Structure 1
Amino acid sequence: MPPQTIDDLPTPVLILDRAVLRRNLRRMSDRLRGAGVALRPHLKTAKSIAIGRMAVEGHDGRITVSTLAEARYFAQGGFKDILYGVGIVPSKFAAVTALRRQGIDLRIVTDNLPVARAIADAARNGDTFSVLIEIDSGGGRAGLPWPDLPGLIDIARVLHQAPGVEFAGVMTHAGHSYHESTPEGIAAVAEQERQAVVGAAAALRAAGIPCPIVSAGSTPTAVHSRDFGGLTEMRPGVYVFNDLDQEFIGSCGPNDLALSVLASVIGHYPHRNQLLIDAGALALSKDISAQEFQPKVGYGTIADAPAKDMAVVACSQEHGFVGAADPIPYGNLPVGSRLRVWPNHACITAAAYDRYYVVDSDLDGGKAVVDTYDRINGW
């Protein structure tokens, strides 16, 4: 018999609140539709066909992925327009073309002239490609740095002139938006992101090279941008679940967290004002992103905590050390009892699990397991 309530689940386990998920999806969908910008959700966060289908409701179905395993998985789920948003290397061309031969419009990205030439050479052998050039709008991870954009025209011209290659446009990701904690700061990064990618598109068009897709996006910039002019699509991802990091930078509120880890109390240690849970580094991750603005969150905070600032303060592989600012009321949390941990970074935490156990706080307070959603992991 499948689990009836979360009390029947083995721990640690991933819990998804469907009611909160739906509110998060609706909010972003309405915002981008109102801005006249296409939504291409980055499904590296959810990695789930069920959630992906909900995310694109009312939109044209385009999505973003971060691995070829995700691309294959979502293609099997009926998604046709997929952007593989990680710089391509020639050894992966065969996997890309295998999906394209199945009728999947799998788009790839590069910022490298030799790779562009390799794409053109592969296309001469009968393969087809759809390619975007990545622009660095200030995050400093990948892409041609703006405003100099070295090699932009050369790379685009190689792709545009190659038979069998569609030069589809430009894309960027303002990862540095995660280091801002005010709407004004994030809005400034969003404008930098917009100007970089729109400027790249303008430079290409001035050189006589069409640039149909102008793609930007992160959850913070999608939430706080004040001008979407010139963009054709946005690619937010973590908004589907949200997490402590998004809460503390102002992209969501405390009631917008859809994802938690259910853990069991396995030990009491009053002499150090700590208890142990069976969710450690592998169940929660060691991502400390939210500590940039709220150091007391540790590796995740405790939902409905009976003590002030109760959080997972340290992790070993399978143990989480839970501390608090005030004495922990151990009588309220006997060994074997359960608690839920809000993660710092939902994407990394969810990667430890093969499924979501779905509850719905709008139905019964979120105790009954109403569904399970599978997800894809690996590369």
Structure 2
Amino acid sequence: MTGSLDDPSTPFLALERGRVEANARRLQAHLERLGVSLRQHVKTAKSVEVAGIVEPGGAITVSTLAEAEAFADAGYRDILYAVGIAPHKLPRVRALRERGVDLTVLLDSVEQAAGAGVPAFIEVDCDGHRGGVHPDDPALVDIAATLEASGGQVRGVLVHAGESYFADGDEQLRAAAQHERDVAVRAAQVLRAAGFATPVVSVGSTPTAHFATDLRGVTEVRAGNFVFFDLVMAGIGVCSHADLALSVVVTVIGHQAGKGWILTDGGWMATSRDRGTSRQRVDQSYGLVADLDGVLFDDLVMADASQEHGMLAIRPGSAARLPELPVGARVRILPIHACATAGQHDAYHVVEPGSRIVEAVWPRVRGW
């Protein structure tokens, strides 16, 4: 035991271990029923300890080489770096591979493939969200041929249904998951027909991972946000508020009665500027507000933020009353986007749901 949530200087992250464990069990059980493995994406937590709750030493996805290096130091050996490879990063990739780490990279162009010389996934576009090549684009086979000519290997295809984060309801989420699967399988079929083994078919996002019903032809699912969840995921129906494992503890530092504000010492530097629920049916501003035990206040939101100030207010249109929170009182802000909020901090203060007792402090990986 290392103290209580009443002790550390605010703002800081509180992490409820029991909820992480429940979130992990839920997704693992779902994927087991569908007959595929989970390749955890560690970009959300960037924590060896959190990853160990899901599967110690298992296959992981990273978003930075700093993550790859930190997890390699912790004994992880099957790592996918799932951001398009830049040439100047290849020496670090090769250094990890020389240490016995099966580190694969991601690419989606002939130019990248020509200089790679290492095992790689080809990114395939399923929804125009970001990078990737269309499965029926002749460039797909050209990339594979160039990669193998450079001394690399086509490890597989990778698809990410990023637009699923903007889905509205179960039907749209299931459709996004099915489309993601269909595009990935189609791309693998094209490559195999051209003579490339393409052993891995990798799909994934937290929404589609939970709403997939048919993953035939897929070998692995990548997801990361599920360990914590957040208000974006709750807003599209992937989880409930009770599943959120992460919060930011802040302190009340003043009041602006005329504006209906309670001021805290946690601004956007503590919670991030992410306003991902602004396009959803219910806009949660910068986050919901709970007491230090995790009980939500009725219609109290973090309505606005400056760099180091948070403004708590009653949601517009609500008949709820502003709670009496004196200067010095501590509250918890539930995040809009857990990845962005966690990224503002160096460590997690680990508690169990409903408890203020800090059982451990877990560091996060920082940098790129």
Q: Same fold, TM exceeding 0.5?
A: yes
Greater helix proportion: 1
**Does residue 21 of the first structure (1) align with residue 20 of the second (2)?**
yes
> How far is the alpha carbon of 1:263 from its aligned partner?
0.4
- Aligned residue pairs total 362
Residues 1:376 and 2:368 aligned together? no
Asked if 2 retains the 8 angstrom alpha-carbon contact of 1:296 and 1:309, the reply is no
Partner letter of residue 274 of structure 2? D
1:159-202, CA deviations, whole angstroms, 9 ceiling, x for partnerless residues?
23443x22201001000000112111011011111111110000
Contact 2:202–2:220 (CA under 8 A) maintained in structure 1: yes
Instruction: Give unpaired runs (5+ residues) of structure 2.
Output: none
Instruction: Answer yes or no: is 1:49 the counterpart of 2:38.
Output: no
Provide TM-score, normalisation by structure 2. 0.95
Q: Structure 1 residue 318 and structure 2 residue 308: aligned?
A: yes
Match of 1:338 in 2: 330
Aligned counterpart, 2:147: 159
Supply the distance in 1 between the matched residues of 2:251 and 2:287 (Cα, whole angstroms): 15
Kindly state the Cα deviation for residue 328 of structure 1 after the two structures are TM-superposed: 4.3
The gaps in structure 1 that reach 5 residues or longer are 124-128
Aligned counterpart, 1:111: 108
CA deviation after TM superposition for structure 1 residue 150, in Å? 4.0
Q: Distance between the aligned counterparts of 1:140 and 1:232, measured in 2?
A: 22
Query: What secondary structure, in the 3-state scheme, does the structure 2 residue paired with 1:73 have?
Result: helix
Q: How does 1:129-208 map to 2 (within 5 A)?
A: 129-146=118-135, 148-163=136-151, 165-208=152-195
**TM-aligned CA deviation for residue 145 of structure 1:** 2.6
| Matching residue of 1:81 | 78
Letter in 1 for 2:301: A
* Secondary structure of the corresponding residue to residue 267 of structure 1: strand
Match of residue 126 from structure 1? none
> 2:6 aligns to what SS in structure 1?
helix
In structure 2, the partner of 1:212 is: 199
Report how far residue 13 of structure 1 moved.
Answer: 0.6
| CA–CA separation in structure 1 for the residues paired with 2:286 and 2:342 | 14
The runs of at least 4 aligned residues of structure 1 exceeding 6 Å deviation read none
Distance in 2 between residues matched to 1:24 and 1:306, nearest whole Å: 20
* Superposition RMSD in Å: 1.5
- Cα 1:307–1:5 change in 2 (3 A) is closer
Is the contact made by 2:299 and 2:320 (CA closer than 8 Å) also made in structure 1?
no
Q: Is the 8 A contact 1:273 1:328 kept in 2?
A: no
Amino acid across the alignment from 1:232: T
The answer to whether the Cα contact below 8 Å between 1:139 and 1:173 also exists between their aligned partners in 2 is no
Q: Is the 8 A contact 1:308 1:326 kept in 2?
A: no
Aligned to 1:221: 208
Distance 2:115 2:17 in 1: 44
Equivalent pair of 1:41/1:64 in contact (CA under 8 Å)? yes
Separation of aligned partners in 1, 2:2 and 2:89: 40
- Does 1:348 find its partner at 2:340? yes
